[in-house]
Structure 1
Amino acid sequence: MAKAGDPRRRLLVLVPCPYQGHLNPMLQLGAALQSTGSFSITVAHTEFNFPNQSNHPQFHFLPIADGLSDADTSLRGFVSLVLKLNVNCKTSFQESLTRLRERTDWQEDIACIIYDGLMYFAEEVARELKIPCIIFRTCSAATSSLYNEYPQLQEEGFIPLQDSKALEFVPRLHPLRFKDLSIYKFEGFENLLPLLERSSQVGSSVAFLLNTIECLEQSSLMKLRQAYPVPFFTVGPVHKIAPPLSSSLIEEDESCIAWLNKQAKNSTLYVSLGSVASIDEKELVEMAWGLANCQQPFLWVVRPGLVHGSEGINLLPDGFAEIVGERGRVIKWAPQQKVLAHESVGAFWSHCGWNSTLESISEGVPMICTPCFGDQRGNARYLSHVWRVGLLLEDMERGEIERAIKKLMASEEGETVRQRMTDLKREVIHAIKEGGSTYDFLDELVKYINAL
């Protein structure tokens, strides 16, 4: 692998999708590539959700005018906002890059543009400016492979999805059922389908990057390599190969680590449903009483907006804090990687976003899976039925919650699940060490970019 201090430093321009689950792996990838000594990093980011630059002094930032109104950003429509960004950002991104290349004091050439697949306007600009570009998918290989199947499923009449078929297996996509698809009960799926199809096209991209691990998704990766005529680099989990960085868009409550220090090894349940997913007030109350009744210590993230339009914590039921006492800690946001690496954490109740999934696997923490939307359903299916390192909990009812927690954290079956997750952690450690697949792919990627 290239070493720090290499005198040749070329510029990489990263174009992340401006949501936490997409921004994190892109910045981690940038930090990993920069740490090789071969590149400097410029992050081209929309004005929407623009990161705190002071947290990333090692990067340059290039704002992209996105033309979004307050009304656009206040609406919770992820698909419509991403579609609008792809229309609004193309011209401003192209103008910014052109100015960057024309600066007389600029000593570095642009080696390539690495863009999140959802920000496909970047590929169009790269093609027009004749700059090499590489697509980076922040989801799993299984999810990427699934997106390629949607057009044929629609042609075969399986889409729109029918509730009567929810539990049936999807043709060519075993073990996924129709209810595990990202478009299941997704309002406005007619806009989602073309977005997923367009974001999966490599276009003029010269390579395909995935935040996954060879040992975890061999069959899905084989499908993708057959489908795309470009080199594939599996560089996950990127958070394990990157120097530590803080890319949270929400302020993290570090005080929870001191609380975790007081808990026994593997005793604590960490609960977080991610940065975007939401539940209703009734589900929040059922979660609260399930946690209160399970008798396990817990660290629960109740972020503002978890219940739409609310701070969340103010909706916790009367008597909850008194019953739980010091056994539970409720915070607005956690330094998740530090929490999962803490020896007191014995399980993770998660929405099963891909970042959370990889972070939990990397630390050997078994999971309770409550997917909310999008690729979370498919991830939960793989966690519970393929890798068998998690328990599926779809019914937000206090009795079901209590039973799931006790099963995972205080039963022989739960111990078996924990052992399987420990085995997966061991494979991740091997992958990121010298001679492992991720280590080798990062090395090959550096050489590939420098040869462009």
Structure 2
Amino acid sequence: MEEHGGRRWPLVVLAASPFHGHMTPTLQLAKALHGKGFSIAIAHSKLNPPNPSNDPSFIFLPLSDNLSAIDESASFTNFIDTLNKNCKQSFHDHLTRLLGEHNRGNKSIVVIYDHLMFFAGNVAVDLNLTAIVFRSCSAAYFPAFLARLQLRQEGRFLEEDYEMKEMVPNHHPLRYKDLPFSKAPIEDWKQLVSIISHSPRPSAIIWNTIKFLEDEALTQIHHHYQVPVFAVGPLHKITPSPPSSFLEEDSSCISWLDKQAPKSVIYISFGSLMTLNKKVLTQMASGLAKSNQPFVWAVRPGSVCDSEWTEFLPEGFVQETRERGLIVKWAPQKEVLAHSAIGGFWSHCGWNSTLESISEGVPMICQPFNVDQMVNARYVSYVWKIGLELEGLESGEMEKMIRRVMVDEEGEEMRVRAINVKKMIKEAVENGGSSHDRLEDLMGFILSC
């Protein structure tokens, strides 16, 4: 489709972050917009690039980032700062070239950018183009982030806040320790906050969430920015797409799950970035062994401190659990969570994982680590009540938590609530649902630009 009410359709350029948890929903958004008739270009760093063969109709615009890897041992702030500085010029060059080509066809450009790629917003504003931010975190994260900023202004931007269990006033169910933070040094975190806070005000914001789930937070975001906010999630349910993982998925776990009883297996995965503590994981393994519960455990190679893969496992664990457990390097998560054998998900509560779990009606054991994960865990546990937050990291507590979710009546009650949420999400993405309608509104907004 090229015309809409006598107007040429714009080219939509999406600036994608090199993090898997950001890249995946960005590509899903691109597919959704392409399905509505828009031409799509994906601007991406050369680090962790998307696979063009998955989307042959898209234009791919590589950006010169001069980065060889995401160094988890170094400063995250310095990485983001370097990524933005290095990519800015090549993004400007791509847009200038595209503007020249599209001006000849009387066709405009609209830029949608991941909030970590804020250079794209600056370049768009410099070129007098519409700039729209895409947020792939929960909406509840944003008011929590503002609360952390307020603490900073009050001189309370302190490490000890991360351990405080007192409730944050007017931010139920969050405690001070649940507010967004990184385990990086405080000065590093302050610098990142300062950098992101000075990014340009967007023309609109797209959020990968669902209105009924986060209506209050979405209202607060709208009041803060005074621009349209489009809740169009969960995008993986709107635009089913081929895997975009940077890691090779081991699909053998699906045939293993086929042989298990319904709702009997707990799936364990802590995402694509977390570096995990060997001592904590040893306790996890012990808790799993004692629980006698079937499990699929995705252990990413190199994700465990001082271990290449599963060397951290206690002696005898593999033999003891051989008949009821499966360990893989990486799993096709959406397919696993949709399997009838899965009865629970032990997760770090990254937003993609949280959305994928609740979309399948799977209760969660929440073990958050940093940034937005604590916020997500509190909402899963204390607002939506479809999971339990694990705070004791000893094997006995972990064994007890597994039984509460997988075996006890408490877990069955959570499963009923989770299934109800699943049904509401299905309605939200169907014709006439809130996410479907907001995607239509987003389409109209882009065309109006």
Q: What TM-score results when the alignment is normalised by the length of structure 1?
A: 0.93
2:86 — aligned with what? 88
Could you report, residue by residue, the CA deviation over 1:80-121 in whole angstroms, capped at 9, with x for unpaired residues? 211211122111211122123334898683431100111110
Structure 1 position 19 matched with structure 2 position 16? no
Q: 2:222 aligns with which of 220, 225, 233?
A: 225
62 and 110 in structure 1: CA distance in 2 versus 1, 3 angstrom threshold: farther
Q: CA deviation at 1:233?
A: 0.4
Q: Measure, in 1, the Cα distance between the counterparts of 2:39 and 2:305.
A: 40
Q: Measure, in 2, the Cα distance between the counterparts of 1:188 and 1:334.
A: 33
2:34 — aligned with what? 34
Q: What SS does structure 2 have at the residue aligned with 1:42?
A: strand
Structure 1 position 306 matched with structure 2 position 303? yes
1:354 — aligned with what? 351
Mapping 1:18-417, distance limit 5 Å: 18-36=18-36, 38-68=37-67, 73=71, 75-103=73-101, 109-162=107-160, 166-183=164-181, 186-196=183-193, 198-199=195-196, 203-308=200-305, 310-417=307-414
**Alpha-carbon contact 2:118-2:199 (below 8 Å) kept:** no
Could you report, residue by residue, the CA deviation over 1:368-400 in whole angstroms, capped at 9, with x for unpaired residues? 000011110111111111111111112332111
> Which letter does structure 2 place at the counterpart of 1:19?
F
> Which letter does structure 1 place at the counterpart of 2:408?
S
Q: CA deviation at 1:443?
A: 0.6
193 and 164 in structure 1: CA distance in 2 versus 1, 3 angstrom threshold: closer
- When structure 1 is superposed on structure 2, of 187-196 and 353-362 the one drifting more is 187-196
Pairwise CA RMSD: 2.4
Q: CA deviation at 1:254?
A: 1.1
- When structure 1 is superposed on structure 2, of 56-65 and 436-445 the one drifting more is 56-65
Aligned length: 446
**Alpha-carbon contact 1:35-1:243 (below 8 Å) kept:** no
Q: What SS does structure 2 have at the residue aligned with 1:360?
A: helix
> Which letter does structure 2 place at the counterpart of 1:151?
L
- When structure 1 is superposed on structure 2, of 436-445 and 423-432 the one drifting more is 423-432
Q: 1:431 aligns with which of 428, 431, 445?
A: 428
The gaps in structure 2 that reach 5 residues or longer are none
Q: Measure, in 2, the Cα distance between the counterparts of 1:209 and 1:106.
A: 30
Could you report, residue by residue, the CA deviation over 1:404-448 in whole angstroms, capped at 9, with x for unpaired residues? 001111111111111111111111111111111101000111111
> Which letter does structure 1 place at the counterpart of 2:347?
S
73 and 105 in structure 1: CA distance in 2 versus 1, 3 angstrom threshold: farther
Could you report, residue by residue, the CA deviation over 1:33-68 in whole angstroms, capped at 9, with x for unpaired residues? 1112x2121110011112232233342211000123
The gaps in structure 1 that reach 5 residues or longer are none
Q: CA deviation at 1:75?
A: 3.9
**Alpha-carbon contact 1:364-1:424 (below 8 Å) kept:** yes
> Which letter does structure 2 place at the counterpart of 1:372?
F
Q: Measure, in 2, the Cα distance between the counterparts of 1:81 and 1:113.
A: 23
Q: CA deviation at 1:242?
A: 0.8
Q: What SS does structure 2 have at the residue aligned with 1:62?
A: strand
- When structure 1 is superposed on structure 2, of 424-433 and 343-352 the one drifting more is 424-433
- When structure 1 is superposed on structure 2, of 250-259 and 307-316 the one drifting more is 307-316
Q: What SS does structure 1 have at the residue aligned with 2:140?
A: helix
7 and 206 in structure 1: CA distance in 2 versus 1, 3 angstrom threshold: closer
Q: Measure, in 1, the Cα distance between the counterparts of 2:102 and 2:437.
A: 37
Q: What SS does structure 1 have at the residue aligned with 2:213?
A: coil
Q: Measure, in 1, the Cα distance between the counterparts of 2:102 and 2:227.
A: 34
Q: Measure, in 2, the Cα distance between the counterparts of 1:152 and 1:440.
A: 34
- When structure 1 is superposed on structure 2, of 110-119 and 93-102 the one drifting more is 93-102
57 and 234 in structure 1: CA distance in 2 versus 1, 3 angstrom threshold: same
**Alpha-carbon contact 1:9-1:108 (below 8 Å) kept:** no
Q: Measure, in 2, the Cα distance between the counterparts of 1:199 and 1:337.
A: 31
Q: What SS does structure 1 have at the residue aligned with 2:149?
A: helix
- When structure 1 is superposed on structure 2, of 128-137 and 109-118 the one drifting more is 109-118
Q: What SS does structure 2 have at the residue aligned with 1:435?
A: coil
**Alpha-carbon contact 1:13-1:42 (below 8 Å) kept:** yes
Q: Measure, in 2, the Cα distance between the counterparts of 1:264 and 1:106.
A: 61
- When structure 1 is superposed on structure 2, of 187-196 and 125-134 the one drifting more is 187-196
**Alpha-carbon contact 2:159-2:186 (below 8 Å) kept:** no
Could you report, residue by residue, the CA deviation over 1:265-289 in whole angstroms, capped at 9, with x for unpaired residues? 1111000011111212222221112
Q: CA deviation at 1:17?
A: 1.4
Q: Measure, in 2, the Cα distance between the counterparts of 1:313 and 1:59.
A: 39
Q: Measure, in 2, the Cα distance between the counterparts of 1:205 and 1:105.
A: 23
**Alpha-carbon contact 1:147-1:197 (below 8 Å) kept:** no
